[in-house]
Amino acid sequence: MNVVDFFKQKRDGLSRQQFELKDFLSPSLRDYWLELMRKANSTQLGAFINNHNLASNDDAVDSPAPEATAVKATAEPAKQPAPIVMKPEAEALMKELNDTLGEVIHVGQWLTVDQDRINRFADVTEDHQWIHTDPGRAASESPFKTTIAHGFLTLSLLSVLTDSVDPENQKFPTAKMTVNVGFNKIRFPYPVKSGSRVRASTRIQTVTPIKRGLEIVQELTVEIEGIRRPACIAESVIHLHF
């Protein structure tokens, strides 16, 4: 029961009982009682109880307070982000790449992943599992009959395999700087055996203008020479700055 209903119930009860109560009062007290009831019905409390449109603690208020309406009316509109202005080099590259979406735009050179490279990567990462660094045990116990490269070694070679670090042979030569933002997806379908040669191909998926450059999502596939299944398929995100 809310506050308004409580007072209404009490007032109605007193109204019904006032004539019964006054019969038990002395004449002097009876006069005071009638005057008290008359004043109670004419006070603000009586008017408040009679007003059914006022919300109680249990009622939902549909209309906002005047103060809230005033604040909302005077609030400044949200600022819109400034439009991106592309440099001519970025605009030209974006058009060029959009015309080749889904196509292979780059194939790198073959690179040999020998045991020395695998061992040096193991030293850096402190991952010396025998499947990577023990050719004798791998020959007798591994289903591949030889050591294999770490999956993260293959992943780390993407920069060189996609010609992203050679200043003389860059994939996006008009860009001043390439920043690796991360990967949306990475898979290693087949291991790279020690002594294998690998290379990477690039397909552009999306090109989006950003402040000072372009964001490019590209699919990178690492191929193993003589093997049908790829060593790695990665969805890479890079930023080009111009």
Please give the average pLDDT of every successive group of 10 residues along the chain, which has 242 residues: 56 52 55 62 51 44 51 64 88 96 96 98 98 98 98 97 87 92 98 98 97 96 98 98 96
CB 160 within 8 A of CB 150: no
Q: How far apart are CA 200 and CA 221, in angstroms?
A: 5
- Within a domain: 55: yes
The whole-number pLDDT of residue 24 equals: 52
Task: Tell me, yes or no, whether 19 lies in a domain.
Answer: yes
Report if residue 83 sits inside a domain.
Answer: no
* pLDDT at residue 43, rounded to an integer: 52
- CATH code of residue 200: 3.10.129.10
Range of the domain at 224: 88-241
81 falls within a domain: no
Residue 49's pLDDT is 44
Both 158 and 231 in one domain: the answer is yes
Looking at the fold, whether 187 and 226 belong to one and the same domain comes out as: yes
Q: Do 237 and 210 share a structural domain?
A: yes
Distance from the first to the final alpha carbon of the chain:
69
Q: Are 219 and 205 in contact (CB under 8 A)?
A: yes
**Distance between CA 223 and CA 229 in Å, rounded?**
7
Q: What is the pLDDT of residue 67?
A: 56
| Nearest-angstrom CA–CA distance, 172 and 236 | 15
Number of folded domains in the chain?
A: 2
In a domain, 189, yes or no: yes
Predicted local distance difference test score (pLDDT) of residue 42: 56
User: Partners of 210 in the beta sheet?
Assistant: 213
